[in-house]
Chain A
Amino acid sequence: MTSMQFGLFTVGDVTPDPTNGTTPTEHERIKNTITIAKKAEEIGLDVFATGEHHNPPFVPSSPTTTLAYIAAQTEKLILSTSTTLITTNDPVKIAEDYATLQHLSDGRMDLMLGRGNTAPVYPWFGYDGAKAVELTVEHYHLLRRLWDEDVVTWEGKFRTPLQGFTATPRPLDGVAPFVWHANIRTPEVAELAAYYGDGFFANNIFWPKEHYIRLINFYRQRYAHYGHGTEEQAIVGLGGQFYIRKNSQDAVREFRPYFDNAPVYGHGPSLESFSTQTPLTVGSPQHFVEKTLAFADYFGDYQRQLFLVDHAGLPLKLVLEQLDELGEVLPTLRAEFDARRPATVPDAPTHAARVAAKVAAASTPAEPVGVDA
């Protein structure tokens, strides 16, 4: 495994192709997601992450089902989420679903927690959207205990109390799945990630970098505050989005109708001004490499870079072509990032490395060996 991980993240939206008005069926969209994930492994990516939503126009309501299906058809790919809803899911079910996925995938998984919901979603699961941050904090503290302690007795505000409860299966090799916390605006979530020494992920696709720099710097400071390492050793992941062609004019011409009608930023700023202000790269592979490398200048050296490719109604054919383009520049990206990273910056987390660290910690004496022989 390389020191930095590259991969894809998908929202799982069913969006009409604005160039011809066709919309994939839910069945097609779900199957396309599998095709894209397998392609990710084929071009040498490390990670595939799926979103979780419970309302149209999104299809991925059952992430661990989808990820287990992908795990069975891949060899190296790490399966993850973007994001798992810590607010509206029962922490007990998260603990059990993802521990099961961990066993099935032989540790090739982690997960990214997020709030990720619009207000109407919360009541469907019996919660109040105004309590989103409180739900996140309470649910995550419980999830940690369900993985880290074999028998849990717990009482909180939002969930039925637990008496002598054991979440099954227990985590693979006694090491819980690595957790990333996705965050775009809430310092409490950065605090939670820092408290536990978890990873922190900024989706980095909607807004100018200054917005994310502030939160990531805060997470790094708090990570160091809690004694997990130095600020530069905090575990950071970033999103990004691109559309690349050898000839940059082709990239702009092909992507513009998708940009202009995209659900998030469509009908607003021009492709040119949005690309200038946000990490979106539409142009040549060289331009893409330069802009992506600059992320480390803004946010510090980091561990995981995920790209959003299958969005805005792009048909499967174009998505797969974009992944071929990405595959061609991936070795350059890896080499350039590795060349600039100081040795003191930790590698991206993997299950194998975390098991090794646990074994090493267990074999280290708690106190220095005495010399009073």
Chain B
Amino acid sequence: MRGTLLRYRVMATIVGVLLIVLILVGVPLANFDGSSMWGFIPSTPGWVTPDSGAQQLGEGITHYLGVAHGWLYMIFLVTAFLLARKALWEPGFTVVVLLCGTIPVLSFWAEHKATTRVRQEYADELAPGATSQPSA
């Protein structure tokens, strides 16, 4: 349980931080130049100058981090699902934890919720000195 929880927490933190960089830094820098965005958002605030260094940075972030984040998110989902199976979460809680990983900032709250729950319900397994896991 300890390893499963650790793997989940590491991935949740990585994905959560990258999500903030991607959505709250990269996307505004790349797109908020006063023009329309992604073909369906009619206008954006004119915060950055087109083709400026800041916008180039934003393009770089969305370009490379976007793809990388997608794959890291897959790994996160797998670690989260493994934890959900091991901790015998009901489907509702599992889905909420999986979905919240996609929402910037909220992902940290979900990680906190999940960790707290596991620590409460499996305190004996996670206690220092507990070596083998009791069979379920």
Does A pair with B? Answer: no
- Residues of B at under 8 Å CB distance from A? none
- Residues of A at under 8 Å CB distance from B? none
